[in-house]
Amino acid sequence: MILLDQIKETGIVAVIRGASEENIIPIANALKNGGVTALEITLETPGALSAIEKLAVELGDEVIAGAGTVLDPETARAAIMAGARFVFSPTVNIETIKLTKRYGVLSIPGALTPTEILTAYENGADLIKVFPAHAFGPKYLKDIHGPLPQIPLMPTGGVNLENIGDFVRAGAVAAGIGSNLVNTKREINEEYLAQLEETARAYSQAFKEAKKQ
């Protein structure tokens, strides 16, 4: 549970699509310098497993490297063997949760309805990715926590600097941030990496400030 505590403490998970083995280390270092150390590498990207492995080998405990868009247990195992320390899924697949827990890795499935959220939690999920969060907004998290206060929720999808505070005050223990934080369609040069570091720092500060309220 130490990794889960680390994610809750830093509060931000960078959802990185389009990362390559060549650009993942500069991106990761910029994020880390800005205070974001949990990095989700989505597996629909060609070469994503190689990027995860490179992160695990070169940065080790400096960042928490995980896999995203994991749809089945076979893919989860491949990601874990590459070095993923958490497994994100867009949906609830119980066999994927079980496989992930069998290897002692954090399981973070995506769910939206109360039934999906509770089912994932009862089957061993460590943290529930409420996705897509923007569809219902921060009040939805607060409503879910009414009858299910014991389940840790992490909104993902449409979370930005303007609304992250509202999500945290509604009970989010962390937030997944995608292209609003990391946009791999941009040229990964020194200027972009400096901007990325500043954006990461802004998200980290916004999360911490909201937690105090």
Tens digit of each residue's pLDDT (9 = 90 or more) over 141-182:
999 999 999 999 999 999 999 999 999 999 999 999 999 999
HSE-CB for 5 with a 13 A CA cutoff: 2
Mean pLDDT of the chain: 97
Give the C-alpha separation, 14 to 100, whole Å: 20
Q: What is the helix (H) or strand (E) element at residue 184, kind and residue range?
A: none
Tokens of 94: 């119980």
Tokens of 161: 């600097």
The closest of 180, 178, 131 to 16, measured between CA atoms, is 178
Catalytic residues: 40, 129
* Residue 213 pLDDT: 86
The closest of 90, 128, 124, 89 to 104, measured between CA atoms, is 124
Q: How confident is the model at residue 1 (pLDDT cuts 50, 70, 90)?
A: low
Tens digit of each residue's pLDDT (9 = 90 or more) over 73-91:
999 999 999 999 999 999 9
Average confidence (pLDDT) over 33-44: 97
Per the CB < 8 A criterion, the answer to whether 8 and 34 are in contact is no
Average confidence (pLDDT) over 56-62: 94
How far out from the chain centre does Cα 196 lie?
17
Give the C-alpha separation, 174 to 137, whole Å: 15
Q: What percent of the chain has pLDDT over 90?
A: 97
